[in-house]
Each structure stands twice: as C-alpha cells, then as structure tokens.
Amino acid sequence: MTGGLAGSLGEDWPSKAVDSIDSVVSLLQQRVVRPIVLAARFMVFGLIAALMGCAIAIYGTIAAIRFFTDVVFAHHVWISDITVGAILLAFGSLALRKATRKAQSPAG
C-alpha cells in the first residue's frame, strides 16, 4: 500500500505545511503583534515624556522662586511666591483661553 494520505498530498507536504504555518504567523505578526508593540512603545515613551515634563516644570518653578528670592527681591520670599504665582496664573489663563477658543470655533 503505497497510496494513502501521504501519497495524495505529494512528497513535499511537510515543507508546504511549514510554509503555510510560516505565512500565517507572519501575517499575524504584521496585523496583530506589531500594532500592539507600537502602541505599547507609544504609551511608555509618552509616560516617560510626561513625567520628565512634570519634573522639569516643578524644578523650573523652584528655581524661579529661588532666583527671585535671592537675586531680585532681597530674600523676601512672599514677594517671590506672588510673582511666580502671577506668572504661572497668566500662562494658565492664556492656555485656557486658547483652548476654549479652539473648542468654540466652528468646524469646517
């Protein structure tokens, strides 16, 4: 009995099976795994950038208060706090004003 399943599939059926499995795995990698990896990278690098931005903002605020206290206002901390607070309030107000204008503008 030389027929049977192996005879009907041909002599090269193992390599055809491996090729088809390889093509399915490659397709899954392109369509599923790669976008998940890219999304994970984006989230991780975004989180790192956000944390670095927060740290820079905090250290910049501390440096500005110390600069105004030591150099500009001759060790009057309360004036330095009010000055830096007013500067941050002005930047925040401008950013909020710009954001609300953008949201209210008609789409088109």
In a domain, 33, yes or no: yes
Q: For residue range 5-55, list pLDDT tens digits in order.
A: 555 667 888 889 899 999 999 998 889 889 999 999 999 999 999 999 999
- At residue 14, the pLDDT reads 87
Q: pTM above 0.75?
A: no
In a domain, 1, yes or no: no
In a domain, 6, yes or no: no
For residues 47 and 54, the answer to whether their CB atoms sit within 8 Å is no
pLDDT band, residue 92 (cuts 50/70/90): very high
In a domain, 3, yes or no: no
Total number of domains constituting the chain: 1
Return mean pLDDT, the chain: 89
Fill in the amino acid letter for 40: A
Neighbours of 53 (CB within 10 A): 10
In a domain, 5, yes or no: no
Q: What is the domain extent for residue 42?
A: 11-104
In a domain, 2, yes or no: no
Q: pLDDT at residue 1 above 60? A: no
In a domain, 16, yes or no: yes
Average pLDDT over residues 62-66: 95
- At residue 6, the pLDDT reads 57
How many whole angstroms separate alpha carbon 19 and alpha carbon 14?
9
In a domain, 76, yes or no: yes
